[in-house]
Amino acid sequence: MSNVSLTQAIPMLLKAVPRSRNFEAVLLFWVAGIHAFALAQIQLAVSQRMSWDMLYYWAPPTISAWILHYVLRKYVLNADGLLLPLAFLLNGLGIAMIYRLDLAEITRGGEDLFAERQVWLSCFAMLMAAIVVRLVRNPLVLRRFPYLAGAAAVVLLLLPAAPVIGRTFNGATLWIAIGDLSFQPGEIAKILLAIFFAGYLVSRKGPLSEIGSRVLGMRIPRAKDLGPILLFWVASMAVLVIQRDLGTSILYFGLFLVMIYTATGRGFYVGIGLVMMVTGALVASRLFGYVGARFDSWLAPFATENYTAPGGSYQLVQGLFGMAHGDVIGAGLGSGFPQLIPLAESDFIFAALGEELGLAGVFAILAIYLLIVYRGLRIANTHQDDFSKLLALGFSFVLGLQVFIVAGGVMGLLPLTGLTTPFLAAGGSALLANWSIIALLLVLSDSSLRRVKE
Amino acid sequence: MSELALFLIRIGFVAVLWVFILSLLSVIRADLYGRRVISRIAKQNAPMLTAGSAASLGIEDGDSFDPTEIAVLTGRTAGTNIPLENKKEVLIGRAPSSDMVISDEFASSMHAKLVHVGPDWVLQDLNSTNGTNLDGKKITTPVTIRAGMTIRIGTTTFELRS
């Protein structure tokens, strides 16, 4: 009867390795190959020969990604198979671009290098994501303390304005620093805010969506139900004033609007929220010089007074020139002049990639972001639990909106902000936050499938 | 490095990125339209075999045996017998309405059927997901059952007995 025991073993074997995990493994091989290609191309273009240096920028992140893959295999077998390879692809492209900028810096005789730090920060962020997966196997535990998450988010948002540890770079007060370690607490705050909104809206969506008097065919909520939206508008405006950054405040307010709209299904909130936000931004641009200057650079980047002003549109214009040089297929990795753009390794890495990979490459990068957001929305759509639905939606939307604000800013379609390009830009706090978001999305997708099977 | 080689590498990198993205679209396609089951068995197995269409199939006459029951050898219902007398067709599958119900993860709801054709019983797979095995080989066309042949569907095996 060995025949029978074999056939009985087949279901167990199939159950042990779902399709998504194996697909993920194949994609990880592929992505590692793309990274090696990018690094080799950069070395060939810059120094005409390949050296073993590239292993230093290739191997540690690849090993970390495989560790994360192993942890997923062990704890969340049914998690989505595309998120990890997609995020890892972006992360590696970022490292390659930063390495390329470092090579240019070395040629210039400078010592401001970022790639090595970025490699280790990426590894750290991926290992943290593995720990998040291990700790939060059931996302419903996050529902237990929404108000604590909300309070922690507010504290983190206000921290950069604190006297001793707060730091201001390029006019935006987004950092805290203790000794040599600097950190951007706003990045972590976006995770906590999504948890808070999801927890709050799940318990209050009844009154928010159903009670209210009808005026002109629209249901106007009670004044007391408008409280939270007003409160949050004030908070976003406070962020705008204190941190001097329009992007951060748009990001959080946008997250809030989308989540309240999803929870209640009422366009009223979006309408009134957008009016309030635009009014606030316009008033702020009149009242505060730093916001006004950003608006001026956006509206007329090529005007001499904006171009030559300190912190004016010089950076934006350099980025635009770079992308124009890139044309459709790009100058080729290592063959452009992205080092001419100030802060090309962080705020303007999108423009640097645009120059070297061209329009086709930029579209590819945007398509990768689109796929990440799409997978997140799909997790939200298929999940049975309302809290998890809202949380997955919040996470994917916040990533998408951030890319929109950053890419729009770099392309001159939106005012420039201090937000970072997720996964690409140099910076540890952003990597940590975005990899944690990926980890939570993976856990959410696993719990969604687990329910279906039971 | 020659100019041409650099140019090819530069085009190649963007191309590799796009091939990667487009290959993921196959997964997304499945999200949108569902996974398409393309089965060679499905094409070969049509037309549907019925008790009346025996002659057109040209099933050769051999030493036929006259089975009277199905004996389940292994699986959840091992040891049970299903009588065949006065039956033209036996529908096998997971659906409760089947003549022979197989509650097995690997059985389709309408998995296969046995048809009485002349003196013989003919086994036809009904485009099942995991196929029907006769004596260890997956069947692709209707097959006449001979004495002692075992049929396997998922983890259930059975044979016809006289």
Q: Which residues of A touch B10 (CB under 8 A)?
A: 41, 329-333, 335
Q: What is the pLDDT of residues B68-101, one digit of tens each?
A: 888 888 888 888 888 888 888 888 888 877 888 8
Q: Do B13 and A368 touch (CB under 8 A)?
A: no
Q: Which residues of chain B have pLDDT under 50?
A: 38-44, 46-47, 53-60
Q: What pLDDT, on the 0 to 100 scale, is given for residue A58?
A: 95
Nearest-Cα distance to chain B for A38, in Å, is 7
C-alpha B154/C-alpha B152 separation (Å) is 6
Angle at A77 between CA A76 and CA A78, to 5 degrees: 95
Contact A317, A301 (CB under 8 A): yes
CB atoms B13 and A38 under 8 Å: yes
B20: which chain A residues are within 8 Å (Cβ-Cβ)?
A: 27, 30-31, 34, 89
Contact A332 B1 (CB under 8 A): no
Tell me the C-alpha distance between A284 and A414, whole Å: 16
For chain B, say whether A326 makes contact (Cβ under 8 Å).
no
- If DSSP codes are grouped into helix, strand and coil, which group holds residue B100? strand
CA B148 to chain CA centroid, nearest Å: 21
The predicted structure's pLDDT at residue A237: 75
B152 contacts on A by Cβ (under 8 Å): 7
Of B1, B17, B27, the CB nearest to A82: B27
Place of tokens 């080799």: A40
Subunit contact A332:B13, Cβ cutoff 8 A: yes
Q: What is the pLDDT at residue A428?
A: 86
Chain B positions contacting chain A at CB under 8 Å are 1, 6-7, 9-14, 16-18, 20-21, 24, 27-28, 31, 74, 105-106, 152, 154-155, 157
Rounded to the nearest angstrom, the minimum Cα separation between A43 and chain B is: 11
Identify all chain A residues contacting B17, using CB atoms and an 8 Å cutoff: 34, 357, 361, 364
Per the listing, tokens 């793309």 go with: A34
Distance from CA of B1 to the nearest CA of A (A): 7
Does B152 sit within 8 Å of A357, measured CB to CB?
A: no
Q: Residues of A with CB below 8 A from B7's CB?
A: 332
**Rounded to 5 degrees, what are φ and ψ at A352?**
-60, -45
Whether A367 has its CB under 8 Å from any CB of chain B: the answer is yes
User: What are the distances in angstroms from CA A20 to CA A73, A84, A132, A200?
Assistant: 10, 11, 20, 33
Q: What is the pLDDT along chain A (454 residues), one digit of tens a residue?
A: 344 455 555 544 444 567 788 889 999 999 999 999 999 999 988 888 888 888 999 999 999 999 999 999 988 888 888 999 999 999 999 999 999 999 999 888 887 788 999 999 999 999 999 999 999 888 888 888 888 888 888 888 888 877 777 777 666 677 777 766 678 888 888 899 899 889 888 887 766 666 666 665 566 666 666 676 677 778 777 776 777 777 888 888 899 889 988 888 888 888 888 898 888 888 877 887 777 888 888 888 888 888 888 878 898 999 999 999 998 988 989 888 998 988 888 889 999 999 999 999 999 999 999 999 999 999 998 888 889 999 999 999 999 999 999 999 999 998 888 788 999 998 888 999 999 999 999 999 988 766 544 4
A89 within 8 A of A353, measured Cβ to Cβ = no
A4 with B155: Cβ contact below 8 A:
yes
Chain A residue whose CA is closest to B7: A332
Q: Is the CB of residue A441 less than 8 Å from the CB of residue A133?
A: no
A4 and B CB contact within 8 Å: yes
Mutation for A interface: B1, B8, B9, most A CBs within 10 A = B9
A366 touches chain B (CB under 8 A): no
Half-sphere exposure of B64 toward its Cβ, with a 13 Å CA cutoff?
14
What does the angle CA B53 – CA B55 – CA B58 come to, to the nearest 5 degrees?
Answer: 115
B49-161: CATH topology is: Tumour Suppressor Smad4 (2.60.200)
Residue of B nearest to A374 (CA): B28
Q: What is the pLDDT of residue A232?
A: 74
Within an 8 Å CB–CB cutoff, is residue A92 touching chain B? no
Of A44, A361, A378, Cβ closest to residue B17: A361
| Residue spans per domain, chain B | 1-35, 49-161
Comparing CB atoms, the residue among B16, B28, B155 nearest residue A7 is B155
Closest CA to B130 of B149, B156, B101, B159: B156
What is the C-alpha separation between B134 and A265, in angstroms, rounded? 56
Please give the interface size between A and B, counted as residue pairs whose CB atoms are below 8 Å apart. 72
CA-based nearest distance A156→chain B, Å: 36
**In A, which residues are within 8 Å of B21 by CB distance?**
364, 367-368, 371
Give the pLDDT confidence score for residue B41 in this predicted structure. 45
Chain-chain contact of A8 with B21 (C-beta, under 8 angstroms): no
Distance, in Å, from the CA atom of A340 to the CA atom of A342, rounded to the nearest integer, reads 6
